[in-house]
Chain A
């Protein structure tokens, strides 16, 4: 394992703007001072980095033609879109008119003032000292996206950032970074799509997203992971919520050889609210690990977190949901639910809600379940003529469709339904007919 780290750190990002050198240096320094986590590291107990070790992912990402066999286009989701292929911006695939009231630049095209702003804010929320993978991300940054929404601007057009991968001759690591700064009173919708073409991938994506929500800012955020199953991903979303800010963040991951996503939300101003929802679907020998951590540092903040997963084959899902209520965070309302459906005897789920409460006037609830399909429901569907397999698909899909039904943007929900029902039914579309 040290081999991977040593090798990847020897390679320097190409064509990066000179001002990123300092970021690379700090990231590298931080990595060199540490080692990669092992199964003895508590937060990595159930997630092995062996897949990263086995193949040498130390190659550098190179510009590539956009793959054609992808499914990232969302019908009816009229967004301003930036597409990166293996970490390189693809102007041909990106476009639409940039909406008013925002600053949206790539790190590689930032002017001096913007570069300074990025340098100041980068790493403020996702701190390199907290995770070696954040430091690794910095050491390999070749480009990134900086998005600033100006005070009291309501962004009517959603922003979509697509991070695509396609195989290269040699396995490679790509650092991807997004920094969103929402000024006071602003509103926006941001969708991040991590996906790939359908051929066998040899990429390791290390994607870090920082969301800085100012006072009273509102963000509708999506982070979707539907890469081909050989792709590796370790990354996360780190958010800081100002006073009365509202973050609604939806997550989806289909399984892969190694997928680990950390979601860290800091309630930094009183009255902030966070809705966090997630769905994960695994089969074969796939692995998905969601670690969420909500830090309630100040009073009167609320958190509503629901994750659901369906695990089949010989797959393994890991969910760790931590809610940390600091002594000062009185009047906190927080709830966390994680439900899992196991569809095979070999499938495994390791779920752990972790509540740490140091304030005395709070309301918190948490629950985690692991279950199989309900036999009574299965029978009911069969009495209406559905074959057992069709009934199973329908019930499994229903289990996650409850969360899809809560997705704020109907275009996103409509896009995901057939994609996810395909995951169970091999083409057996369960998209709802229009009513």
Chain B
């Protein structure tokens, strides 16, 4: 059952990524698509943390910041290839998550939310204030990945938009595959179990703090890789990537799409990335409409968009 669902979810996602460009009216939409995939990647990480393990974080943009600035700083100061800088960022984020997660994951609910919020603000302050290193609020340039030139030399010419659409799409697919594997694995079951009842999970032998920490570290690595991809495709990065608003955006995407499902989270990321683009016609009312949409979804479809729609369709089918 669960095994079949995994391949259906991955298949749907792969088809969407492969076929959507057929409907793109202009090259600009590749950029939007790549942005959706990057956002979706960090949201899939949050599905593991929030949806599987039931823990909240309002500071995950901090890890995106670490991933982004690893790509900006490591090639310049350490002479690392940008691709290795992505890995370095992921390792640093994972270690950071393990260090801060250990004490703060003992907290529950809104206490945990505030503690993670503090971490996110800390990262964003460091990035903003260490002007000598990061260029401060103005941000800094990010070296090119170099892969596109390599492909061109091999005779495969891609525009920047097409290239990043492809890279981010593939990374999102890998991220989704890993998350779906985890769902139906011993660790994933342990995470979902502690989400349901920590006491019962502990009495069946689940090391609750350890499993929470696992979910936290894994989701931090997702956010970090997403931050790296964002930095690399834009060629430029500012501390906003680690800002509080970015953390809130991630959680909102996850909850809006349906925090229990990988596909739903991707859907949420797509909607919240696209809406501001569409709503530009409302000019100054953009934020208002966006807020209204979110409030309405939470009132009428509290499980999130995709799971609620799926449930309704299934209900009609029976």
A binds B: no
Residues of A within 8 A of B (CB): none
